[in-house]
Amino acid sequence: MIDPEPAAPPAPIPAPPRPLRALDFARMTSRSFYLQALFAPERQQGPGFAFALLPAIRRLYSGARERGSALARHMGFFGTHPVLSGYVLGVAARLEERRAQGIPIGDAAIEDAKRSLASPLAALGDPLFWVTLRPLAGLVGILGMTLFPLADRVGPDLRVLVCPLLALLTYNAVALNHRLFGVRRGYARADEPGKLLHSLRLAPLRGFFERVGAFLFGSLMVLTLWPMTESADPAGLGFAHTASVLAPFALGWIVSALVLRRWPGRCVEIALAAALVALVVSTRV
Amino acid sequence: MLPELLRVALLGGILATDRAAGWNLMLGQPLVGACLAGALLNPGPEWELWALRIPLGVGVLLQLLLTDPALPAAQRPRDAATAGVIGSSVAILCLERVHPFLSVTTGGILWVLVGTIAGLLASVAGGWMEASLRARNEISARRAEELALEGRVSSFEALYWGGVGRIFLRGATWSAAATVAGVAASAVLLPSVARFVTGPRAGLIFAVLLGVAYASGFHTHVRVFRRGLGWATMGAVAALLVMLRLHGGGP
């Protein structure tokens, strides 16, 4: 009688992946604030994306190799607007979770989902946050200087704190909403990226802020010129005197506006050249 | 001067992290940086009248001049985050040390000018340094991928945090060094040209620079947008009506 071959020990059943928790989303959100620390032209925010996704990867995969290969999957090129990156992180976390649960989702599918959301978010987010909202927030801070006059001419000027605070509040009132809740929203709506994008209403928001920015700049011009005109002629010498005092400002404004039409983005050079020309002219007159 | 420089370095490092690491909380804007630097540096009670107004002036001018309405990829490399801190710090530290050697009475305007020009120069020089940071990041990113493929997740994390630390240290070192250079240059140059430094001359240059700053603001907030001019006109008319109502007549 042949002894039956001893039965091979049963293969270990892999532990089912643990679902993502609120703490993981909070960790991913906090790490998304460092998205650009290794920013480089070749991969842009790729390493930062992998770094921000790491809490989810740690939760979903147990072995060092599995974690490493999941991390490497997200290290390639990635570029979106940093304020809106949470939405893509949420979608990627959802797909990684399904993959860890055994649902067949390939690398290409994850990459496609990331790109399909990241590109429109960059296209909508850059003009909204960089071109419109950030300059507008600075403008609100500057307006604070004209709207909050000195309470006491010899006391400390509290506008030095009020103006930056106004700028910070204006920008972050809009941006922090996306930054703090983006990961959760992206995770919840991972299957309907189109609806997710539409729900953000980024394009109408941009149009609104453009109009507000132009309106406030018009107000700022008047609020600046009014006291300048008031103080230009304390002795009441007439319009000609006021015009001659305001002429350097007007000349600097008009010439720079014309030069900027031709060479936008050259403000620093124009300012330094204008200061030099004014210095030379002042020594001749 | 060492305690002041340490404060400047700390602030410069934080603002550089805000701009380059991805916080993007608006701390890195010149207005915020200049005002925070002004609030941190206290030149003493005898300068109290100007000490907080000069950073505000520097911040407003730099905010208008350094705000570029182009998308980041199309912008010229400028370090606007530390420019506000450096400009404001140079102005405040020079005010305390150099002003007694000058005979100008309109000191506020003169130091706003010095701070603004220092900030503009610092933004250009800081922008040149961006290229070296990006090159270093590229090397770190390649190493990070190797670590990920080897499964060394903790080492990957440590490498990434090192990148954050590098941004902070770079901003801190640059802010302190540029402030020292700016104060030294002003301390050498200004007393030697003291007879040229007059109130009317400073006022003229300030007015021209203000004009350039407002032209830049016009370009950023009005010209690049469709129907921007119409909305700006409406804003101007509204402000004019309010001012006329408040003052009961013309300026």
Mean pLDDT, residues B58-79 taken together: 92
Proportion of chain A in helix, strand, coil states, percent, rounded to 5: 75, 0, 25
Q: Is residue A224 part of a domain?
A: no
State how many domains chain A has: 2
User: What's the predicted TM-score (pTM) here?
Assistant: 0.92
Cβ neighbours of B29 in A, within 8 Å: 134, 137-138, 141, 167
* pLDDT given at position A282: 87
Nearest CB neighbour to B233, from listed A58, A218, A278: A218
Same domain, A178 and A51: yes
* pLDDT given at position A130: 94
Nearest CB neighbour to B140, from listed A38, A135, A250: A38
Q: Name residues 54-83 of chain A within 8 A of B (Cβ).
A: 54, 57-58, 63-65, 67-69, 71-72, 75, 82-83
> Do residue A130 and residue B72 have CB atoms under 8 angstroms apart?
yes
Same domain, A117 and A185: yes
Q: Is residue A17 part of a domain?
A: no
- What lies within 8 Å, CB to CB, of B45 at 6+ separation is none
Number of H helices, E strands in chain B: 9, 0
Residue in chain B lying closest to A175 (CA): B25
Distance CA B109, CA B204 (A): 10
- With a cut of 60, say whether residue A7 has pLDDT above it: no
Cα distances from A192 to residues A87, A113, B157, B183, in angstroms, run: 12, 10, 32, 57
Between residues A235 and A240, the one the model is more confident about: A240
Same domain, A101 and A178: yes
Q: How confident is the model at residue A1 (pLDDT cuts 50, 70, 90)?
A: very low
End residue of a domain, out of A193, A217, A249: A193
* pLDDT given at position A158: 80
Distance CA B83, CA B62 (A): 8
Same domain, A31 and A154: yes
Same domain, A180 and A67: yes
Q: Is residue A57 part of a domain?
A: yes
Could you read off the pLDDT of A167-219 as tens digits, one per residue?
Answer: 999 999 999 999 999 999 999 999 998 999 999 999 999 999 999 999 999 99
* pLDDT given at position A93: 97
Q: Is residue A119 part of a domain?
A: yes
Residue in chain A lying closest to B199 (CA): A282
Could you read off the pLDDT of A133-160 as tens digits, one per residue?
Answer: 999 999 999 999 888 766 555 666 788 8
What domain range is A81 assigned to? 22-193
Most A-contacting residue of B40, B68, B86, B212 (CB-CB within 10 A), to test interface: B212
Q: Is residue A200 part of a domain?
A: no
Same domain, A161 and A253: no
Q: How confident is the model at residue B155 (pLDDT cuts 50, 70, 90)?
A: very high
Same domain, A176 and A249: no
End residue of a domain, out of A193, A220, A244: A193
Cα distances from A247 to residues B39, B126, B206, in angstroms, run: 34, 34, 12
* pLDDT given at position A16: 59
How many C-beta neighbours within 10 Å does residue A121 have? 26
* pLDDT given at position B53: 86
